[in-house]
C-alpha cells in the first residue's frame, strides 16, 4: 500500500515538472557522457532528475544565481550513479550548495572522519556525512565531457560511501555481492595505484585517488562512468565490483 502511494506521489511530481522537453534536450546535449545511454536509460534518468530536484534543495552561494539549466546539469550527473539503485541511496541529507568557483582558501585540512583533503577537493567540492554536498559550478560545468574527471559523480560517490558510516571506500554492498571480493579488489588496486605513482609508472587516472581509500572510491567512480575502458584495462577486478555495486556496465555503452 505504502509503495503504491509513494509511486502515485512520484508520478504526480513528474507530471507536474515544469521543465520543458527542449530544456532536457539542451541539458543532455551539454553532457556528452549521457549520450551513451539508451533511450530507456535517458528516460529513467530524466525521471530521477525531476525527483532529485524536488527532494533536494540546490542553492547558489557567494552570489551565484543557479539557473534551471545549471540545476539540470547537476541533477542529471548526480543521478547517473543511482540510475539503477534509486534515489533512496541519497537519503539523509537535503542540500546541494553550489559555489561559483574556488570556495575555500588553498590549504590542506583533515575533516571529522580523519580524511585529509588537499587542493583539488577543497577547491572544487565536498561531500559531508549527513551534511550538504558542496560543489563548485566551475567543476560541475566542466564535468560530463568524457575526460575521466567528473566532480559531480565524485562528490555523490562520497555520499554513497558514507551511507554505512565513515568515508572509507566501502559503501553498503548488495546482498548478492561478496564483501571479501570487494575488499581484495579495491585494496590490491589501491596498493598498486600508489606503487605506480611512487615509481613514476602511473596510469591515466587522477593521482588524487591515492589520497585515501575514500578518495580512491570517489575518483575511481568518476573513471568508471567517464572512462570505463581505462578502469577495465588497468583494474578489471575493480571494474567488476563497481559493475555489481552500481548495477551498470558502462563499457557496453562505448562505441565500437
Ligand atoms: Zn573527494
What is the CA(240)–ligand 1 centre distance, in A?
A: 22
Query: So what's the pLDDT on residue 62?
Result: 86
Beta bridge partners of 135: 98, 125
CA 155 to centroid of ligand 1, rounded, Å = 6
Centre of ligand 1 from the C-alpha of residue 148, in Å: 15
CA 46 from centre of chain: 16
Residue 88 confidence (pLDDT): 95
* Cα–Cα distance for residue pair 138/125, rounded to 1 Å: 10
Q: How far is the CA of 44 from the centre of ligand 1 (A)?
A: 27
CA of 116 to the centre of ligand 1 (A): 9
Cα 234 to ligand 1 centroid, rounded to whole Å: 21
**CA–CA distance, 240 with 221 (Å, rounded to integer):** 12
Predicted confidence at residue 200, as pLDDT, reads: 87
CA pseudo-torsion sign 245, 143, 98, 41: negative
Bridge partners of residue 52, in order along the sequence: none
Note the pLDDT of residue 113: 52
Distance 83 CA to ligand 1 centre (A): 21
CA–CA distance, 52 with 159 (Å, rounded to integer): 14
Cα(35) to ligand 1 centroid in Å equals 26
Separation of 13 CA from ligand 1 center, angstroms? 32
156 Cα–ligand 1 center, Å: 9
Cα distance between residue 174 and residue 24, in whole Å = 32
- Please identify, in words, the CATH class of the domain defined by 2-253: alpha beta
CA of 255 to the centre of ligand 1 (A): 29
Closest CA to 128 of 88, 151, 81, 96: 96
Residues 6 or more apart whose Cβ sits within 8 Å of residue 56: 90, 94, 95, 96
Q: Which of 92, 103, 91, 84 is nearest to 41 (CA)?
A: 84
Give, for all 256 residues of the chain, the pLDDT tens digit. 668 888 888 889 889 998 999 999 999 999 999 999 999 999 999 999 999 999 999 999 889 999 999 999 999 999 999 999 999 999 999 999 998 886 543 334 444 455 555 444 444 556 656 788 889 898 899 899 899 999 999 999 999 999 988 889 999 999 999 999 999 999 999 999 999 999 988 899 999 999 999 999 999 999 999 999 999 999 999 999 999 999 999 999 887 7
Residue 201's pLDDT is what?
A: 85
DSSP E strand stretches across the chain = 57-60, 95-99, 109-110, 116-117, 125-127, 133-136
- Dist. CA 157 → ligand 1 center (Å): 9
Question: Residue 196 has what pLDDT?
Answer: 95
Dist CA 166 CA 228 (whole Å) = 26
Domain boundaries, the chain: 2-253
The grid coordinates of residue 232 equal: 577495465
Neighbours of ion ligand 1 (CB under 5 A): 121, 215, 218
Q: State the burial class of residue 136 (Cβ atoms within 10 Å of its Cβ: 0-12, 13-18, 19+).
A: buried
Amino acid at each position: 500500500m505504502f509503495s503504491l502511494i509513494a509511486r502515485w506521489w512520484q508520478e504526480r511530481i513528474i507530471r507536474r515538472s515544469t521543465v520543458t522537453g527542449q530544456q532536457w534536450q539542451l541539458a543532455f546535449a551539454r553532457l556528452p557522457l549521457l549520450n551513451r545511454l539508451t533511450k530507456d536509460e535517458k528516460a529513467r534518468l530524466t525521471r530521477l532528475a525531476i525527483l532529485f530536484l524536488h527532494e533536494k534543495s540546490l542553492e547558489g552561494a557567494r552570489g551565484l544565481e543557479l539557473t534551471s539549466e545549471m540545476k539540470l546539469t547537476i541533477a542529471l550527473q548526480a543521478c547517473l550513479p543511482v540510475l539503477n539503485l534509486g534515489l533512496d541511496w541519497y537519503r539523509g541529507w537535503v542540500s546541494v550548495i553550489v559555489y561559483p568557483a574556488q570556495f575555500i582558501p588553498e590549504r590542506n585540512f583533515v575533516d571529522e572522519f580523519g580524511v585529509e583533503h588537499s587542493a583539488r577537493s577543497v577547491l572544487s567540492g565536498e561531500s559531508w556525512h549527513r551534511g550538504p554536498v558542496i560543489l563548485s559550478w566551475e567543476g560541475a560545468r566542466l564535468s560530463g565531457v568524457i575526460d575521466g574527471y567528473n566532480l559531480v559523480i565524485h562528490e555523490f560517490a562520497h555520499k554513497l560511501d558514507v551511507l554505512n558510516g565513515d568515508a572509507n571506500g566501502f559503501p553498503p554492498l548488495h546482498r548478492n555481492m561478496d564483501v571479501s571480493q570487494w575488499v581484495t579488489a579495491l585494496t590490491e588496486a589501491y596498493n598498486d595505484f600508489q606503487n605506480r605513482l611512487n615509481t613514476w609508472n602511473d596510469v591515466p587516472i587522477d593521482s588524487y585517488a591515492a589520497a585515501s581509500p575514500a578518495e580512491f572510491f570517489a575518483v575511481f567512480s568518476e573513471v568508471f562512468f567517464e572512462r570505463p575502458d581505462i578502469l577495465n584495462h588497468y583494474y578489471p577486478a575493480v571494474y567488476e565490483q563497481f559493475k555489481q555495486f552500481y548495477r551498470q556496465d558502462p563499457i557496453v555503452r562505448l562505441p565500437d
